[in-house]
Chains A and B, each alone.
Chain A
């Protein structure tokens, strides 16, 4: 795939602006050994394996610590090229496994590239995780200093910013309490507060804003916005397309480790979302190319959108009802399974979650190899015209990791319709509509219910 990047098309005068980040042919290759063939087992090797290898192969084995023998190469990044100017905020979008996080890890020096080079001009700070190095036994105050120094701040710097940090996190009362007694929200707030007060020229941020409560998220986005507009250079990885479009004027799209698009974030986001598949009322999800996460103990094999009567349907008139039907097959015995459907719009914003356990109370058991069909009926789709998608996931009670999860498993379009019976079709830029009844009272009218007496 060719890289469609052209700095000139951006109206960027490369002479007058300072390049903060220059990435040239950056590639990263992981070697996947076949020692432990299970997904997690391959991560590190037992000494035994090395000893066996060492008998077969020369000593370079122990020297490099790398897997020898049967090795498969996996290119997480392939010839990435881009430049970021001072004061620019660039978003990196792509599906899970496209290489976004690997790119950030290479740029933060956490891992080395296999080929290519990147040059960063200025102090670099990274926020790949909120509260890195927080120790539960230490107090909030102690953790601020620890976390700050891990992120590269000096002691004096932390001292002078300390009050602002605590203020921003809003935990003044608990600053001398061990962090283990904090709620998870408080921990996140404190962690972000430290990072937000880093005084740096370049900030690399991974998907960290997806945590915390709504209010704090708003605060974080505000801070990020402030940072992005204060002349600092920001690289931002997120699945939240709204955040991407709000924060970053420019975005790059990664697909399978390659940079496939570089342009205004609006069009990049559009292309990214379009890559999730076209309008189809039903989709076969057994295809191995379907990107999915989860343990895989049970899988969604097929998802269908049906009308009330049972017809296939990819475009739904406003206000109509639909049915979502999924076929599930278990790979091993699973208990108390339920399905979840998350409805999101074309920008990736979550609109609502159809929770099979909470709102449906619909759990089921499956033995290995058995299949089930789950159906969820929505009598009325209170959505405005536009493109929407459901992601599908299977979970079982009490477990954090889903059994199976597919982003944008099926997408559909809501067509304009005269739902209110007024002959008027609602305008855009709204997401949902509520059924409403109206009345009005003008002066002198006796119909006004609010006027007493």
Chain B
């Protein structure tokens, strides 16, 4: 590492330091010295090693499906099986609200993006410890290693995306299911920037995990667990909590609404399916924040239930810290022609940016010691 100055041959031509040789070969100079402090991604170096990045990605894809009978089909099978299971559990048994979208379509459209993110961070997190020779036996920019893992997950995503298109075509044309809640709108092009945002999210989290995994092997055990938990914190298989009125609170809301007049909004959300639907429509966005004050003043409601409700609001705010929250619901909304929750998306974009910067800073911070501690 050191503060490497392997200049691009062209740009270094004519530099007096690059050896006095008149040789036709351009000179490059590597200076090796101690490195300390923080440093951000060396984009020039990454660019020079772009072919390596490609080969590592290609290797990951190749070996994932070597000597397996179904090969690349696995990229499709995984999200499809999830979709089937979740359709049975959440769609049929728990009857999760989906805003008029058939549940299989509802979950599959989000699951493919989620699956990309989950596979990406899991592979990236283990990438360095899985190939220690690339760290200890040769110098390559180490960042390429977790990046390549995310790249190979991206390959799977594209295959699954193709399947999603087939599923959509099937729903629109051949199934008898009610697809009135689904439409193709111009917002569908938002899918690309959303994918880009997810790539950055996966790179940020992946590099962070990869570096932590080298230093502390505990993360080997943590990563699968983390991915699992994260999935349940992400509105992939249920509706975003911001889109829905707190459906689970219907029971609380009814008791609250019956007790006090001030709980206007609160009782509204409870009444959403039952009585006072007319005045809800315009207060959608403000719902979350105003619940705070209401909740505190709601002395009328039985105490235990009020407490439970305040915990619920707290969880809602906590879940908003999940950068995938806004991305996943926006992705689905863009694909299926629902209004994109810009607010949440903007917040997610900020979180992703922070995560990416922090992840790569930490990676570079630990990088000099990788070879010594891996």
Interface residues of chain A, those whose CB is within 8 Å of chain B, are 18-19, 30, 43-48, 50, 63-66, 105-124, 126, 128-129, 132-133, 135, 137-138, 142, 145-146, 149-151, 154-155, 178, 201
The verdict on B192 contacting chain A, using a C-beta distance below 8 Å, is no
| CB <8 Å contact, B137 and A120 | no
Q: How large is the interface on B (under 10, 10 to 19, 20 to 34, 35 or more residues)?
A: 35 or more
Partner of A146, one of B4, B21, B31, B59: B59
Q: Across the interface, name the chain A residue whose C-beta is closest to B48.
A: A152
**Nearest CB on B from A352, distance (A):** 32
**In the complex, which residues of chain B have a beta carbon less than 8 angstroms from the beta carbon of A129?**
133, 137-138
Top 9 nearest A-B pairs by Cβ distance? A47-B218, A65-B215, A112-B368, A129-B137, A109-B139, A149-B55, A118-B32, A120-B30, A137-B66
Q: A133-B134, A142-B62 are contacts. A44–B373 as well, Cβ < 8 Å?
A: yes
| CB <8 Å contact, B135 and A110 | yes
Tell me the B121-153 residues at the A interface (CB within 8 Å). Answer: 131, 133-140
| CB <8 Å contact, B369 and A66 | yes
**Nearest CB on B from A227, distance (A):** 16
In the complex the two chains form, what is the Cα distance from A129 to B136 in whole Å? Answer: 10
Known: A108-B139, A110-B136. 18 other contacts (CB 8 A): A30-B372, A46-B218, A47-B216, A65-B373, A109-B32, A110-B137, A110-B371, A112-B32, A112-B35, A112-B368, A113-B2, A115-B34, A117-B31, A118-B32, A118-B33, A120-B31, A132-B137, A154-B51
**In the complex, which residues of chain B have a beta carbon less than 8 angstroms from the beta carbon of A66?**
369
Q: A46-B216, A119-B29, A119-B32 are contacts. A133–B138 as well, Cβ < 8 Å?
A: yes
Could you show 24 A-B contacts with beta carbons less than 8 Å apart?
Answer: A19-B19, A30-B372, A44-B217, A44-B373, A63-B365, A64-B369, A65-B215, A65-B366, A108-B138, A110-B137, A111-B371, A113-B2, A113-B33, A117-B33, A118-B31, A118-B32, A121-B19, A122-B28, A132-B133, A132-B138, A138-B63, A146-B59, A149-B52, A155-B55
**In the complex, which residues of chain A have a beta carbon less than 8 angstroms from the beta carbon of B214?**
44
**In the complex, which residues of chain B have a beta carbon less than 8 angstroms from the beta carbon of A65?**
211, 215, 365-366, 369, 373
**Nearest CB on A from B133, distance (A):** 5
In the complex the two chains form, what is the Cα distance from A178 to B66 in whole Å? Answer: 10
The verdict on B268 contacting chain A, using a C-beta distance below 8 Å, is no
In the complex the two chains form, what is the Cα distance from A178 to B59 in whole Å? Answer: 13
In the complex the two chains form, what is the Cα distance from A31 to B56 in whole Å? Answer: 32
**Nearest CB on A from B233, distance (A):** 22
Partner of B139, one of A46, A114, A126: A126
**In the complex, which residues of chain A have a beta carbon less than 8 angstroms from the beta carbon of B137?**
110, 128-129, 132
Tell me the B178-225 residues at the A interface (CB within 8 Å). Answer: 211, 214-219
The verdict on B1 contacting chain A, using a C-beta distance below 8 Å, is yes
| CB <8 Å contact, B138 and A113 | no
In the complex the two chains form, what is the Cα distance from A133 to B134 in whole Å? Answer: 6
Most buried by B among A105, A106, A122, A155: A122
In the complex the two chains form, what is the Cα distance from A43 to B369 in whole Å? Answer: 11
Q: Across the interface, name the chain B residue whose C-beta is closest to A153.
A: B51
| CB <8 Å contact, B30 and A109 | yes
Q: A109-B4, A113-B32 are contacts. A150–B138 as well, Cβ < 8 Å?
A: yes
| CB <8 Å contact, B138 and A46 | no
In the complex the two chains form, what is the Cα distance from A122 to B55 in whole Å? Answer: 24
**Nearest CB on B from A309, distance (A):** 52
The verdict on B175 contacting chain A, using a C-beta distance below 8 Å, is no
In the complex the two chains form, what is the Cα distance from A321 to B352 in whole Å? Answer: 77
The verdict on B251 contacting chain A, using a C-beta distance below 8 Å, is no
**In the complex, which residues of chain B have a beta carbon less than 8 angstroms from the beta carbon of A63?**
365
Tell me the B1-34 residues at the A interface (CB within 8 Å). Answer: 1-2, 4, 18-21, 25, 27-34
In the complex the two chains form, what is the Cα distance from A30 to B371 in whole Å? Answer: 11
**In the complex, which residues of chain A have a beta carbon less than 8 angstroms from the beta carbon of B365?**
63-65
| CB <8 Å contact, A18 and B19 | yes
Q: Across the interface, name the chain A residue whose C-beta is closest to B136.
A: A110
Tell me the B243-272 residues at the A interface (CB within 8 Å). Answer: none
